[in-house]
Amino acid sequence: MADQAVARLAGINVGAPAHFAPSADFGLIGLAVMGQNLILNVADHGFTVCAFNRTTAKVDRFLENEAKGKSIVGAHSIKEFCAKLKRPRRIMLLVMAGKPVDDFIESLLPFLEKGDIIIDGGNSHYPDSNRRTQYLTSKGISFVGSGVSGGEEGARYGPSLMPGGNEDAWPHIKDIFQSISAKSDGEACCDWVGDEGAGHYVKMVHNGIEYGDMQLICEAYDILKRGLGLSSKEIGDVFAKWNTGVLDSFLIEITRDILYYNDNDGTPLVDKILDKAGQKGTGKWTAINALDLGMPVTLIGEAVFSRCLSALKDERGRASTILSGPTPKFEGDKQAFVDDLEQALYASKIISYAQGFMLIQNAAKEYKWKLNKPSIALMWRGGCIIRSVFLKDITNAYRNNPDLENLLFDDFFNKAINNAQNGWRNVISKTALWGIPAPAFSTALSFYDGYRSKNLPANLLQAQRDYFGAHTFRIKPENASETFPEGKDIHVNWTGRGGDVSASTYIA
């Protein structure tokens, strides 16, 4: 029997009779905006849904209003909720990540049977989904950790869904998930991602890429505003045009709308908003994981740090009166520069996605996951925040070559980034001369130049590490000799005063 405290927390009426014939195809716990909209979406696709919320009065309000007349039933206890579900029970949790998910799992277990399925659709951290998959497997229950993207509108009319966990659950939830998900060119923006916490991992990387996309757009806005002196309306016109070409995407579209939106006094509302960004942590998780895996996901990292810098609003105010720099002054063909900026944004976005897929591929090796790479790009083509026209090209790249080492090696993206280079470099050089910060643009180009460099100055870095810490180095194969053999960890007594004992040879 469930612990009494957990039972009370979950709204369980312990000991309540279960005289309910199973009638519901799907159950959902959590009636906040996302939960309500997802239930309505499932019901619209011909499935009967059972709704439960810890505050049971919310169930009644939902049934009497938004759910009225639809194939939706309610429950006032976990026992009643489980009794109303057909086998295997398909239960989705849309509750706050962390302890509430574990508490609801514990409250459900006494009323479940082997083969039943629990789906966590919240923004859980993937290590928690790894743990829950293993724990529930030992109980005979299938666990699915699913990324859900698209906000409340996506939940209602078609989100991007990224399920992972116990693969034996997929045949039982596939019909519902692919029915309710967004569609792109007739294909569902939902497919099985991979093992254990892979679904939530891919959602985490999605959110990290979202951070990068948003930062790049903000930098482009700043360059147009401060560098070219354009008004919000004029910048909105630029984004409107960009949204008809290679940058066609949800985030470009909403940026256009934001820039066109005026306050009651007729002035742009965006100009009045405090320049102090918030974050919920998923971008930070991506950056931390990239560091843990030793992967150079630099653009997402810069996007996170840019939000942190924006939070220093008062300090930046003081610095603006003390620290000097150039005043932007544009000379030349504005339209030509806007075209260059479009290419710079496109190239930087390609780098962001290339880095994101590098991280995903490396995680699959590290965690021994079987990941469905072509389907990941497909899942992001519709319903989610980073949906854009060029995700179709990413899908094609991985369908053409599922073992593609890097997105930049694909012919389409190789050609695209080569064509964008002149404009990309021109824009970044101008921002440096104008004193306009462009950390995401700059790090994207720096990564590109570093990635295409056969030789980097890390040879000197290794020599430094060996000099002060005896951390050793390896010799280039073409320079190998009897003194410095290939493939061996070598320590040199650089000054003649040190010893010959080397330290560890740890690698980032």
The per-residue pLDDT for range 38-63, each reduced to its tens digit, is 999 999 999 999 999 999 999 999 99
Query: What was the pLDDT predicted at 499?
Result: 63
- 24 closest CA partner among 89, 112, 90, 85: 85
DSSP string, 218-287: HHHHHIIIIIS---HHHHHHHHHHHTTTTT-BHHHHHHHHHHH-B-TTSSBGGGGS-S-----SHHHHHH
DSSP 478: G
Q: Is 358 annotated as a binding residue?
A: no
Query: What was the pLDDT predicted at 17?
Result: 42
Instruction: Please provide the average confidence, as pLDDT, over all residues in the chain.
Output: 92
Q: Is 471 annotated as a binding residue?
A: yes
Q: Is 32 annotated as a binding residue?
A: yes
Is 176 within 8 Å of 190 (Cβ atoms)? no
Query: What was the pLDDT predicted at 373?
Result: 77
Taking each helix axis from N to C end, the angle separating 334-367 and 232-242, rounded to the nearest 10 degrees, works out to 60
- CA–CA dist 228, 279 (Å, integer): 29
Q: Is 1 annotated as a binding residue?
A: no
Query: What was the pLDDT predicted at 1?
Result: 38
* Helix, strand, coil percentages for the chain (3-state, nearest 5): 55, 10, 35
The per-residue pLDDT for range 192-242, each reduced to its tens digit, is 999 999 999 999 999 999 999 999 999 999 999 999 999 999 999 999 999
Q: Is 497 annotated as a binding residue?
A: no
pLDDT at 502 over 80: no
Q: Is 469 annotated as a binding residue?
A: no
Q: Residue 390: which pLDDT band, with cuts at 50, 70 and 90?
A: confident
The per-residue pLDDT for range 115-153, each reduced to its tens digit, is 999 999 999 999 999 999 999 999 999 999 999 998 888
Query: What was the pLDDT predicted at 477?
Result: 95
Query: What was the pLDDT predicted at 228?
Result: 97
Q: Is 465 annotated as a binding residue?
A: yes
Q: Is 8 annotated as a binding residue?
A: no
Q: CB neighbours of 284 closer than 8 A, spacing ≥ 6?
A: 304
Q: Is 318 annotated as a binding residue?
A: no
Query: What was the pLDDT predicted at 6?
Result: 45
Query: What was the pLDDT predicted at 281?
Result: 75
- CA–CA dist 389, 248 (Å, integer): 6
- Give the pairing type, strands 117-120 and 142-149: parallel
pLDDT at 3 over 50: no
Query: What was the pLDDT predicted at 65?
Result: 95
pLDDT at 28 over 80: yes
Query: What was the pLDDT predicted at 507?
Result: 57
Query: What was the pLDDT predicted at 279?
Result: 75
Q: Is 427 annotated as a binding residue?
A: no
pLDDT at 500 over 70: no
Q: Which CATH number fits domain 26-192: 3.40.50.720, 3.30.750.200, 3.40.630.10, 3.20.20.70?
A: 3.40.50.720
Query: What was the pLDDT predicted at 14?
Result: 39
Residue 317 tokens read as 């105010």
Q: Residue 503: which pLDDT band, with cuts at 50, 70 and 90?
A: low
Q: Is 130 annotated as a binding residue?
A: no
Kindly report the number of other CB atoms within 10 A of residue 248's CB atom: 14
Task: Pick the range with the lowest mean pLDDT from 263-272, 305-314, 376-385, 485-494.
Answer: 376-385
Query: What was the pLDDT predicted at 387?
Result: 83
- CA–CA dist 177, 188 (Å, integer): 9
Residues with a catalytic annotation lie at 203, 210
Q: Is 31 annotated as a binding residue?
A: yes
Query: What was the pLDDT predicted at 381?
Result: 84
Q: Is 150 annotated as a binding residue?
A: yes
Q: Domain spans of the chain? A: 26-192, 204-452, 466-507
pLDDT at 506 over 70: no
Kindly report the number of other CB atoms within 10 A of residue 168's CB atom: 12
Residue 312 tokens read as 């220093």
pLDDT at 463 over 90: yes
Query: Which residue is it, tokens 């014939």?
Result: 21
Q: Is 165 annotated as a binding residue?
A: no
Q: Is 202 annotated as a binding residue?
A: no
Query: What was the pLDDT predicted at 237?
Result: 98
Q: Residue 337: which pLDDT band, with cuts at 50, 70 and 90?
A: very high
Query: What was the pLDDT predicted at 19?
Result: 58
The per-residue pLDDT for range 146-185, each reduced to its tens digit, is 999 988 889 999 999 999 999 999 999 999 999 999 998 8
> What topology is assigned to 204-452 in CATH?
N-(1-d-carboxylethyl)-l-norvaline Dehydrogenase; domain 2 (1.10.1040)
